[in-house]
Amino acid sequence: RFHGEGYQEGYAEGSHAGVVEGRRYGSLHGAKIGSEIGCYLGFALTWQCLLQKCTDEKNSKKIRALDSLIGMIQKFPYEDPTYDKLQEDLEKIRGKFKQVCSMLNIQSDFRISTERSSLTF
């Protein structure tokens, strides 16, 4: 009897601790992904505005790539943590971001600096 009761208590306590740890882990990593995606969107919108004044063929390719990146970000399922292709879509967005950076001759390192409150590229 004591063995059974101990098992039930331990199982209940472990389940509760697992939920708390999972929520904390999900919040932390969700915030990191949100920050990364938000940075990409701000970057793309800024460059889109800067390049709209130029209408030559070279810049039109850059604008199309930026439009594609913005579209991918806008379709990203932010509110569905059970989305089965979340990592796959995130990798596609990262790849498109790197492509755009290459077209614009900008280093594509995404880092959040802990020493200063700024993003570096």
pLDDT at 46 (0 to 100): 93
Q: Which of 62, 89, 61 is nearest to 75 (CA)?
A: 89
Averages of pLDDT over each 10 residues, the chain, 121 residues:
84 88 86 90 92 79 92 88 86 94 81 52 50
pLDDT at site 3: 81
Asked if residue 57 lies in contact with residue 28, where contact means CB atoms within 8 angstroms, the answer is no
Q: Looking at residue 114, what is its pLDDT? A: 47
pTM: predicted TM-score of the whole model, two decimal places: 0.73
d(CA 46, CA 119): 15
pLDDT of the residue at 44: 94
Question: What pLDDT does 99 receive?
Answer: 93
- State how far the Cα of 35 lies from the Cα of 90, in Å rounded to an integer: 13
